[in-house]
Chain A
Amino acid sequence: MGDSLRNLIERIVRAFVDWVQRCLPPYDPSAWNDANGVQYNNNCYNYACDIKTGTYAQPGRGTGHEYTAIDCQHVDTGAVSDGLVPVDCDSGCGCSECQHQVALVIKPGGFEFGDFHWYRKDRDGRWSNKMGGSPATNLDNSGNIITDPRTADRGSYTIFCGCYCVRKNSVTIN
């Protein structure tokens, strides 16, 4: 195969990969970690959806169905109302639609001390997250790169609920 043909094939492959990845968020913590308004007023749900509202977005609030209990079922209902689509974690979101994958976990304890948390899958195939008003990171509680939120060290967020696909242009969060 001549060099020119090889170069053409490489360019076509590169263009296809770029096209597939165009909708996946890059891991770019500097876009969130300003130690100021962006960081402090956007939480894990904002970061996972890759949408900065500055309102500490809550699942369902943007579409009038905010969760009424802190468990998988109720937070799921709010998220689905916002436009997130449940998906098998191993199947992923495919490349036919412009969307990326996120995952929901729960810290048990109800409204007294329970909480929810979201991870997102980035362009590099790894996962990252933003803990409330703290900086975005791709590390888990043990300081390891997150390759799978199901097996990551999640501290007291012991319940893994499932994965979702986020099409940014058809998701409404607030």
Chain B
Amino acid sequence: MAKRRDDGGGAATTARLLIFSGRPDPQWSVGGGELSELLGLVKGVLGREESNRPPQGGLGYRGFLVSQLPVDERPTDIEVFRGVVTEKAGPRTRHWRDTGGIERWLLRQARSRGHGATLDSEGVNEAPEGRS
């Protein structure tokens, strides 16, 4: 579970599909053009439309945890679930509506990395935001 470090000496950005309970969740590094694309989506969401906290997930699909996202050069962790982006920067936690389609983008990433069967087993598809 330790965070891998990138070539620049900072902790690498990782995406973790929150779907298992006992086994380790699938997770992968996000870098290069994908990181730029994700950062663009995230920057368009944070601070835009505040939201209530998402419902607590049960056994099965519970969204994504993206760690060490360099938002404005400040490492930020976000969780994305059911159309809500939860921003965790230090002790602060805020919730934003996923108007940028971050969850859909991450779901596509998960499928492209071979986790489609895992998502299918929980009935998860790239539905409109709030309906994943």
Q: Are A154 and B117 in contact (CB under 8 A)?
A: no
| Stretch from B4-12, B41-49, B54-62, B96-104 that touches the partner | B54-62
Closest to B25 in A: A132
Q: Are A141 and B60 CB-contacts (below 8 A) given A133-B16, A133-B65? A: yes
A residues within 8 A CB of B59? 107, 117, 131, 141, 154-157
The answer to whether B58 touches A133, judged by C-beta atoms less than 8 angstroms apart, is no
Residues on the A chain within 8 Å of B25, using CB? 132-133
Chain B residue at minimum C-beta to C-beta distance from A48: B22
Q: Any chain A CB within 8 A of the CB of B132? A: no
Chain B contacts of A112 at CB under 8 A? 117-118
The yes or no answer to A50 lying at the interface (CB within 8 A) is no
Give the distance in Å from the alpha carbon of A134 to the alpha carbon of B22 in the complex.
Answer: 11
* Closest beta carbon of chain B to A48's beta carbon, Å: 10
Given contacts A115-B21, A156-B121, is CB(A40)–CB(B65) below 8 Å?
yes
Chain B residue with Cβ nearest A59 = B22
B94 at the A interface (CB under 8 A): no
B60 surroundings in chain A (CB, below 8 A)? 141, 155-156
Q: Contact between A113 and B117 (Cβ–Cβ < 8 Å)?
A: yes
Task: List the A residue with the shortest CB-CB distance to B22.
Answer: A116
- In the assembled complex, which residues on chain B have CB atoms less than 8 Å from the CB atom of A99? none
Q: Is A153 located at the chain interface by the 8 A CB criterion?
A: yes
Q: How many residues of A contact B (CB 8 A)?
A: 38
Of all chain B residues, the one with the shortest Cβ separation from A137 is B56
Question: For the complex, what is the distance from the CA of A157 to the CA of B21, rounded to whole Å?
Answer: 10
B23 interfacial contact with A, CB 8 Å: yes
Q: A140 in the interface, Cβ–Cβ < 8 Å? A: yes
- Interchain CA distance A130-B18 in the complex, whole Å: 12
Q: Considering the chains assembled together, what is the distance between the CA atoms of A130 and B62 in angstroms?
A: 12
Q: Is B105 an interface residue (CB 8 A)?
A: no
Question: A118 touching B121 by the CB < 8 A rule?
Answer: no
Considering only residues 119-174 of chain A, those with a C-beta below 8 Å from chain B are 129-135, 137, 139-142, 153-157
Contact A113 B22 (CB under 8 A): no
Known: A112-B117, A117-B22, A133-B65. A153 touches B16 (CB 8 A): no
**The one of A40, A132, A139 that contacts B22, using a Cβ cutoff of 8 Å:** A132
Q: How far is the CA of A139 from the CA of B55 in the complex (A)?
A: 12
Chain A residues with CB under 8 Å of B65's CB are 40, 133
Q: For chain B residues 52-97, which have a beta carbon within 8 Å of chain A?
A: 56-60, 62, 65, 88, 93
In the complex, whether A45 has a CB less than 8 A from a CB of chain B is yes
Residues of B at the A interface (CB closer than 8 Å) are 1, 16, 18-25, 56-60, 62, 65, 88, 93, 117-118, 120-122
